[in-house]
């Protein structure tokens, strides 16, 4: 899956902007990125983590001040209350909702780090 992403990114001349990593259930292994990330795309995957708060805590530590996180979850798979719980977990880590987004078949929000 990651190799396919890298091939498509190379073809689109954006591979140098992507840091694709294999992670574990316990950590994403991004401690080396502290304070360096401008943008995080979390598309249809936060619900796969055992605890969303740990995911957002790692993302918040890696993010620069005013960095953005696009969070989107599949509407048919993640209930409204579960998405609200994810947003609350993000808020605890310092990621605030900037706006709710309209993405087809998804619940989505743009978050930013204060």
Full pLDDT tens readout for the chain, 114 residues: 789 999 999 999 999 998 888 888 778 899 999 999 999 999 999 999 989 999 999 999 999 999 999 999 999 999 999 999 999 999 999 999 999 999 999 999 999 998
Evaluate whether residue 28 is within a structural domain.
no
Q: Which residue has the tokens 């396919």?
A: 4
44 close to 73: Cβ distance less than 8 angstroms: yes
Distance between CA atoms of 112 and 64, rounded to whole angstroms?
10
Evaluate whether residue 99 is within a structural domain.
yes
Q: Which residue has the tokens 């969303």?
A: 52
Residue 76, classed as helix, strand or coil, is coil
The CATH number that applies at residue 41 is: 3.40.50.150
Question: What is the reported pTM?
Answer: 0.86
Evaluate whether residue 113 is within a structural domain.
yes
Domains in the chain, number = 1
Evaluate whether residue 57 is within a structural domain.
yes
Residue 17, classed as helix, strand or coil, is helix
Using CB atoms within 10 A of its CB, is residue 104 exposed (0-12), middle (13-18) or buried (19+)? exposed
In our burial notation (b when 16+ CB lie closer than 10 A, e otherwise), range 65-83 reads eebbbebbbeeeebeeeeb
Question: What local confidence, expressed as pLDDT, does residue 10 receive?
Answer: 96
Evaluate whether residue 23 is within a structural domain.
no
30 close to 62: Cβ distance less than 8 angstroms: yes
Structural domain boundaries enclosing 53: 36-114
Evaluate whether residue 16 is within a structural domain.
no
Evaluate whether residue 12 is within a structural domain.
no
């Amino acid at each position: 899956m990651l190799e396919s992403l890298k091939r498509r990114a190379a073809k689109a001349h954006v591979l140098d902007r992507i840091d694709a990593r294999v992670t574990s259930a316990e950590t994403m292994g991004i401690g080396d990125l502290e304070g360096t990330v401008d943008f995080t795309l979390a598309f249809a995957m936060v619900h796969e983590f055992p605890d969303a708060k740990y995911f957002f805590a790692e993302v918040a530590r890696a993010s620069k001040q005013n960095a953005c996180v696009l969070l989107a979850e599949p509407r048919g798979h993640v209930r409204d209350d579960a998405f609200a719980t994810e947003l609350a977990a993000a808020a605890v880590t310092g990621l605030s909702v900037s706006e709710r987004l309209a993405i087809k078949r998804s619940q989505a929000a743009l978050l930013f780090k204060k």
